[in-house]
Amino acid sequence: AKPMPQKKVLKSRDLSGLADYIASDKCNNIVLMLGAGVSTSAGIPDFRSPETGLYANLARLRLPYPEAVFEINFFRENPEPFYTLAHELYPGKFRPTVTHSFIRLLAANGLLHTCFTQNIDTLERRAGVPDDKIIEAHGSFASQRCIDCQQPYDDAKMKRKILAKETPRCETPKCGGLVKPDIVFFGESLPDEFIRAIPNVAKADLLIIMGTSLTVHPFAGLAERAPLACPRVLVNLDVVGSIGRRPNDLVLLGKCDEVVRALCEKLGWGEELEALWAKT
Ligand code: APR
């Protein structure tokens, strides 16, 4: 395989080229792939950043290994670590970022085809991205159910339990099973909604991948489904996955909020972006 390109720092001409393409009539169906890196500036740690990542900071939960916190079999044995984390991550405490407002702006300009996200923080929805454009591939805290009898559990009661640091249990007579938010744990299958949306990537005329290490499949595999004619843009602190190998790939290294602001300046969307974010 070709050697990976040297780390490209954010160059103005790269941004101008991208802005010109987005503004052209050739770009109408943008598909996004988001990871935890788009929410770090909201105060939600990502998973694998060396110092600040969640997996580097779960030691206090005495897990056999970090990912166990999201493993269904471990959860059955010991739901404590997950619920400790759920209390810290629970939606409602965090404000969407300017990157989330950029996604709403893409939709407002009729350019957003599908926003695939791995994040469970529901910040896309809270930023005003149209629901029908969002595919939460790893589920979210939006709903919950018993892992034994599958009985849905009341939303308000769940919120109270999590904020009170109590472990919710199924109230179906003779069940008493553990209740878990509809977040996709390792070992669980991804939502049908994700599976059905996979073909959307083939319709993209621009794929923008932001804030993800592209380490978790099948989500990461979406990037390989972009048509060869579709430019793939990586906006990330470091080069990840195989983005950079295709001749029309573009790697924009940097903080996503900074790249988004610089791109919106080139698009002439700067003021609109800030105004939108200010009221989020
Ligand atoms: N701007 C740009 N990139 C950032 C920023 C930022 N402000 N902050 C972090 N990043 C980058 C990190 O350098 C890293 O490459 O975002 C990436 C985050 O990667 P991960 O922490 O692995 O998060 P993610 O890719 O979303 O994890 C995927 O793993 O644990 C599972 O189900 C969980 O959905 C999660 C999945």
Q: How far apart are alpha carbons 106 and 133 in whole angstroms?
A: 11
Residue type, 147: I
pLDDT for residue 6 is more than 60: no
Q: Is 49 in the pocket of ligand 1 (CB under 6 A)?
A: yes
User: 120 among the known binding-site residues?
Assistant: yes
β-bridge mates for residue 210, sequence order: 34, 235
Element (H, E) at 176: none
Atom of ligand 1 nearest to the CA of 235: 2
Instruction: Considering only residues 54 and 155, tell me which one the structure prediction assigns the higher pLDDT.
Output: 155
What share of the chain has pLDDT > 70, as a percent?
A: 96
User: What's the distance, CA 224 to chain centroid?
Assistant: 18
145 CA → ligand 1 middle, Å: 27
Check pocket membership of 116 for ligand 1, CB cut-off 6 A: no
> Average pLDDT for residues 146-171, to the nearest whole number?
95
User: What band does 39 get if pLDDT is binned at 50, 70 and 90?
Assistant: very high
User: CB–CB of 7/239 below 8 Å?
Assistant: yes
**pLDDT at residue 89, as a whole number:** 84
Mean pLDDT throughout 30-59? Answer: 92
Distance of CA 41 to the CA centre of its chain: 13
Q: Is 29 annotated as a binding residue?
A: no
- Work out which ligand 1 atom sits closest to the CA atom of 237: 3
Nearest residue (CA) to ligand 1, atom 35 = 118
The answer, yes or no, to whether the previous bond of 247 is cis (omega within 30 of 0) is no
CA distances from residue 59 to 22, 69, 207 in whole angstroms, order as listed: 44, 11, 36
Q: For ligand 1, atom 15, name the residue with the nearest CA.
A: 213
| Residues in Cβ contact with 99 at an 8 Å cutoff, skipping those fewer than 6 apart | 38, 41, 210, 211, 256, 257, 260
- Contact by Cβ (8 Å): 39, 124: no
pLDDT digits (tens, 9 = 90+) for 190-227: 999 999 999 999 999 999 999 999 999 999 999 999 99
pLDDT band with cut points at 50, 70 and 90 for residue 9:
low
Summarize pLDDT for 104-140 with one digit per residue, the tens: 999 999 999 999 999 999 999 999 999 999 999 999 9
pLDDT higher than threshold 80 for residue 250:
yes
The answer, yes or no, to whether any atom of ligand 1 lies below 6 A from the CB of 53, is yes
Evaluate: CB of 138 within 6 angstroms of ligand 1: yes
Long-range contacts of 239-247 (CB under 8 A, 24+ apart): 239/4, 239/5, 239/7, 240/212, 240/213, 240/214, 240/215, 241/209, 241/213, 241/214, 243/209, 243/214, 244/4, 244/5, 245/1, 245/2, 245/4
The length of the chain, given as a count of residues: 280
What pLDDT sits at residue 11?
Answer: 66
Pocket mutation for ligand 1, best pick of 10, 32, 44, 48 (most atoms within 8 Å of C-beta): 48
Q: Which residue from 89, 10, 97 is spatially nearest to 280, judged by alpha carbons?
A: 97
- Burial-class residue 63 by CB neighbours within 10 Å (0-12, 13-18, 19+): middle
Instruction: Please indicate if the annotation marks 35 as binding a ligand.
Output: no
Q: Active site includes 138?
A: yes
Atom of ligand 1 nearest to the CA of 41: 7
Relative to the CA of 258, which ligand 1 atom is closest?
1
User: Bigger pLDDT: 225 or 53?
Assistant: 225
Instruction: Answer yes or no: is the C-beta of 215 below 6 A from any ligand 1 atom.
Output: yes
SS3 of residue 14 by DSSP: helix
Give the ipTM of the model, two decimals please.
0.99
Q: Are 200 and 31 in contact (CB under 8 A)?
A: yes
This prediction's pTM: 0.93
The answer to the question of whether 172 is labelled as a binding residue is: no
Probe ligand 1: pick from 216, 252, 263, max atoms within 8 Å of CB? 216
The annotation status of 236 as a binding-site residue, yes or no, is yes
Q: How confident is the model at residue 173 (pLDDT cuts 50, 70, 90)?
A: very high
Identify whether the C-beta of residue 36 lies closer than 8 Å to the C-beta of residue 118: yes
Look at ligand 1, atom 29, and give the residue with the nearest C-alpha. 216
pLDDT band at 8 (very low <50, low <70, confident <90, very high): very low
Rounded to whole angstroms, how far apart are CA atoms 33 and 23? 20
> 32 and 103 in contact (C-beta within 8 Å)?
yes
